[in-house]
Structure 1
Amino acid sequence: MVVAIGFEGSANKLGVGIVSDGVVLSNVRHTYHAPAGQGFLPRDTAAHHRKHVLDVLRRALDEARVTPADIDCVCFTKGPGMGAPLVSVAVVARTVAQLWRKPLVAVNHCVGHIEMGRLVTGARSPTVLYVSGGNTQVIAYSQQKYRIFGETIDIAVGNCLDRFARVLKLSNDPSPGYNIEQLAKQGTKYVELPYVVKGMDVSFSGILSHIESQGREKLERGECTAADLCYSLQETVFAMLVEITERAMAHCGSQEVLIVGGVGCNVRLQEMMATMAEERGGKVFATDERYCIDNGAMIAQAGWEMFRSGQVARLEDTWITQRYRTDEVEVTWRTD
């Protein structure tokens, strides 16, 4: 039996999770919320993580009913993410590993999402749509790498939604994307927006600029409501994501889609993806907010896989990086 503890702090979610041989023993999270209309700044987010990390760690150990002696490896998010929050949590992970005399495992945040999704849903070898505030990628496994088939060429889809939520002055609690989703359910009128798919890649910055300017003017003239704009934005950007995911499925001969990342909680995205998959005779796999939103258990699960396959980091190699691509990771734990 191998017990892994994972530390996550790449953005505004601070998480510590403990897993053992495919079983989640604990998954404790604390979120930093910026004021309405504002995004979370690296400095403030890092201060939040430093303030709460020891309490979250203690709660995770208590919930899992384990002691430091029971832990086999300490896993942490190496990147990608925001620099200051990543550093604040990595320092804690390094300190804990040295105090407990445990090996360190440096985990790619994106791979953490994928491995947690595979564990929770049972998807075997799916085409993965990874959608969050900082990342948008279509991924498939091949020859011990997670290959990126398509991605955003500018901002992530979650960032697009979050920034429009700021324009509308929506609350950041529990998240701006969630509040966009709830408001979109009240929308009845589709407002045409740019649809930007470039081969297998997508672009969201132009859509955001358009809806911020043209959408606001329509709103002021009474031609639509805020709910209509949220509905229109979701329908447009999600249709783009479904298109490139279907193309990747066709290329890979896949019948499974796994949606991971914070935006993966969006029920409308899951519905649209399910419609596409069913028409192809396929199936969609998704997780709920416990695991699709950044959490420590996903880092522990990916680290557990890495540790068992011999991937352990030297202390001098446990630096963090804001840019750490999914396809840079050697997936030594998969042979299929």
Structure 2
Amino acid sequence: MIAIGLEGSANKLGVGVILHPAKGGPAQMLSNIRDTYVSPPGEGFLPKDTAIHHRTHVTDLVKCALKEAGITINDVDCICYTKGPGMGAPLQSVALAARTLSLLWNKPLVGVNHCVGHIEMGREITGATNPVVLYVSGGNTQVIAYSSQRYRIFGETLDIAVGNCLDRFARTLNISNDPAPGYNIEQLAKNGNVLLDIPYAVKDELAGQMKAGTLKDPATGDAITPADLCFSLQETVFAMLVEITERAMAHVGSNQVLIVGGVGCNERVQEMMGMMAKDRGGGVYATDERFCIDNGIMIAHAGLLAYRTGFETTLDDSICTQRFRTDDVHVAWRED
């Protein structure tokens, strides 16, 4: 079976095509194309501008994805799209495109939870069996474990996500958004030498860390370089993530960690999580930017998993929502 997936919950517009073999086995990634709306340094991306970007490029991306996959419209079994969570206007643009394709091609629709898309793509690529999942992206930060056909949330940030924290911090320092603010912070942090004492609490809010990073060195009063600020922010926030993930691992008795979401391709968070997992006799599973950063093929994959269990989204129900909980999804394709 073949599915085409459309992702557009934030500033990445992705279209991917995936094939699930009839007799089982690993999925085949036929194409995975992405186009990013990049705002000027010091600015975030507004929903209306992002939506215009998605509407402008979605037709070309669908054509390119089909061409790269080497298939025609007749080969597609279902159209999968991101139902939520995400930013309202970009989500609406992609949902409209998916409905249009469904009507034009007479193909069934499958609405997909963005978070579950990340998880299932990570499991497929890495081969992780039953890990504790750290989901870190621009809009979501959650520690998740699977139980009884649901992805259960063990902990999450209540104010802003880790990716949003990095984005806001980049705007404060006027760091470029190209290719991504988090990536540029990661590169700057490699040259940092001063570890500032900024707030650390696993039951606190990330906005405090973001603001604390703009202070001078309390010990000397000297100006702190952008590299030192980026280094201190990363080390502190990532240490918080490692601690809360380890707590969840101890609770469920797992020694596997799967890192998904856009921030998950950060090499430092992978390194820190790997050291913790190794001490527990386990390992960390992560992917590169092709699958960590929002993409269409993760929506196609998760949608096709659901479609194979008989799930479809009717045209009347083919809406999108900014709030769509990870644990709201019935994971009918998992029996373990």
Question: Shared fold (TM-score greater than 0.5)?
Answer: yes
Q: Which runs of 5+ in 1 are unaligned?
A: none
Instruction: Give secondary structure in 2 for the equivalent of 1:258.
Output: strand
In 1, Cα distance between equivalents of 2:221 and 2:293: 37
Q: Which residue of 1 aligns with 2:241?
A: 241
Displacement after TM superposition at 1:223 (Å):
3.7
Displacement after TM superposition at 1:332 (Å):
0.4
CA contact (8 A) 2:213 2:232 kept: no
In 1, Cα distance between equivalents of 2:156 and 2:309: 29
Q: Which residue of 2 aligns with 1:112?
A: 117
In 2, Cα distance between equivalents of 1:126 and 1:203: 25
CA RMSD of aligned residues (A): 1.3
Match of 1:129 among 130, 134, 158: 134
Instruction: Give secondary structure in 1 for the equivalent of 2:213.
Output: helix
In 2, Cα distance between equivalents of 1:171 and 1:196: 29
Instruction: Give secondary structure in 2 for the equivalent of 1:272.
Output: helix
Q: Which residue of 2 aligns with 1:18?
A: 17
The aligned runs of 1:1-336 (5 Å cut-off) are: 2-21=1-20, 22-198=27-203, 203-212=205-214, 214-215=215-216, 222-336=222-336
In 2, Cα distance between equivalents of 1:47 and 1:222: 44
Instruction: Output one character per residue of 1:196-231: Cα deviation in whole Å (capped at 9) or x when no partner.
Output: 212xxx52011112223x24x87x953421101100
In 2, Cα distance between equivalents of 1:225 and 1:28: 37
Instruction: Output one character per residue of 1:46-85: Cα deviation in whole Å (capped at 9) or x when no partner.
Output: 0000111111111100000111100000000000000000
Instruction: Output one character per residue of 1:232-260: Cα deviation in whole Å (capped at 9) or x when no partner.
Output: 00000000000010010111111110000
Question: Matched residue pairs, number?
Answer: 330
Q: TM-score, normalised by structure 2?
A: 0.96
Instruction: Give the AA of the match of 1:51.
Output: T
Q: Which residue of 1 aligns with 2:24?
A: none
In 1, Cα distance between equivalents of 2:202 and 2:254: 21
Instruction: Give secondary structure in 2 for the equivalent of 1:125.
Output: coil
% identity of equivalent residues: 66
Instruction: Give the AA of the match of 1:204.
Output: L
In 2, Cα distance between equivalents of 1:203 and 1:146: 23
Instruction: Give the AA of the match of 1:5.
Output: I
